[in-house]
Structures are given as C-alpha cells and as structure tokens.
Amino acid sequence: MTARRAWTILLVSAVLEAVWATALGLSQGFSQVGPTVVFALALTLSMIGLATAMRAIPMGTAYAVWVGVGAALTVTWAMLTGMESASVVKVLLLVGIVGCVVGLKLVAPAPGAASPSKDGETPAPREGHPSST
C-alpha cells in the first residue's frame, strides 16, 4: 500500500469516526433506529479503515491522527449545528489539534521504513508487517 493511500484511508476513517460519534449522540441510547444504524455502519467502516491504515502508518501516529481529526470534526459539527456553543478558545484549541495532526503526518516515517532502535541498530522487520516482504 502506498503512503498516499494509507493516509487517505486514515483520513476517511477519521471522518467516519466523527460520523459515528455524532450518530451515537443522536441515537438517544440506541432508541432511534436511523442514527443507530448510521452509528453501527460508520463505526464498523471506521475501525476497518483504521486497521487498514495501520498496516503502513505506525500505530501511535495512526491512532493519534484518527482521534484528533475525528474529535476536531465532531466538535466543529456540534458548534456549527448549535448542539454545542462556539467560542474563540474552542476554535483555537481545534486549530491546535489540527496543527498537531499535520505535524505527525510530516514526521511520520515512510511506510516500510525501519527506524533505528535505542542502540542505533535497525530492528528486523516484524513478521507479517509490510517491511518484512
């Protein structure tokens, strides 16, 4: 999988994370059928996307980006729809989240690239990891 494809899958998965979080809130404890179905589908697809992206993006980076983008989109949507109040401080904090996500993308190693261990040696690829083939 190419780096571009992995990052695209991760970002789509993060958008779906915001969708399922919003649908969960609208489901009123799973008593509303429509939002409950949207929640279940978006949750499933989001997890599949996250797992797929983690094949090429380091786990910590992928998870942080997934959570950060999902949280930022969820709060932004809630503010835009009036479900949550907006403030300058909230907007600045959301900009900070997005900035950190961009930073993680910029410093992420290329898929399959091994990083040096603490002793300076490059570790052997993990079995089943793309860099082991």
CA atoms within 13 A on the CB side of 70: 24
In angstroms, how far apart are the furthest CA atoms of the chain? Answer: 55
Q: Give the angle subtended at the CA of 28 by the CAs of 26 and 29, to the nearest 5°.
A: 125
Angstrom distance (rounded) from CA 81 to CA 27: 16
How confident is the model at residue 76, as a pLDDT?
Answer: 95
pLDDT for residue 13: 98
Burial class (CB in 10 A: 0-12, 13-18, 19+), 66: buried
Dump pLDDT digits (tens) for 57-109: 999 999 999 999 999 999 999 999 999 999 999 999 999 999 998 898 888 77
Residue among 14, 81, 10 nearest 43 (CA): 14
